[in-house]
């Protein structure tokens, strides 16, 4: 059973109200402004992005350490 199934309707509504109280404090900005800023930031950081330029083999923590031979 999940937590939400074990809660009363009153408890669920209180939880939702608490979440809305938190969200209403968030500063809002126009997407037309923030979208441009996000695009500029992404483009300025592209040279350092390992997803775009890759990771050197010697710096890759997930590189296979050794093979496995089955005989």
Predicted confidence (pLDDT) per residue in 19-41, tens digit: 999 999 999 999 999 999 999 99
Q: Which fold has domain 7-57?
A: G Protein Gi Gamma 2 (4.10.260)
Q: Would you say the C-alpha torsion 45, 47, 48, 52 has a positive or negative sign?
A: positive
Task: Specify the pLDDT at position 64.
Answer: 81
Task: Specify the pLDDT at position 5.
Answer: 73
Q: What is d(CA 53, CA 43) in angstroms, rounded to the nearest whole number?
A: 13
Where do the structural domains in the chain lie, given as residue ranges?
7-57
Task: Specify the pLDDT at position 2.
Answer: 62
Residue 50 pLDDT level (bands cut at 50, 70, 90): confident
């Amino acid at each position: 059973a999940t937590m939400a199934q074990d809660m009363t309707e009153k408890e669920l509504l209180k939880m939702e109200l608490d979440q809305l109280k938190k969200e209403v404090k968030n500063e809002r900005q126009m997407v037309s402004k923030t979208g441009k800023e996000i695009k500029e930031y992404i483009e300025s950081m592209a040279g350092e992005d390992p997803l775009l330029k890759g990771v050197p083999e010697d710096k890759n923590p997930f590189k296979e350490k050794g093979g496995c031979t089955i005989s």
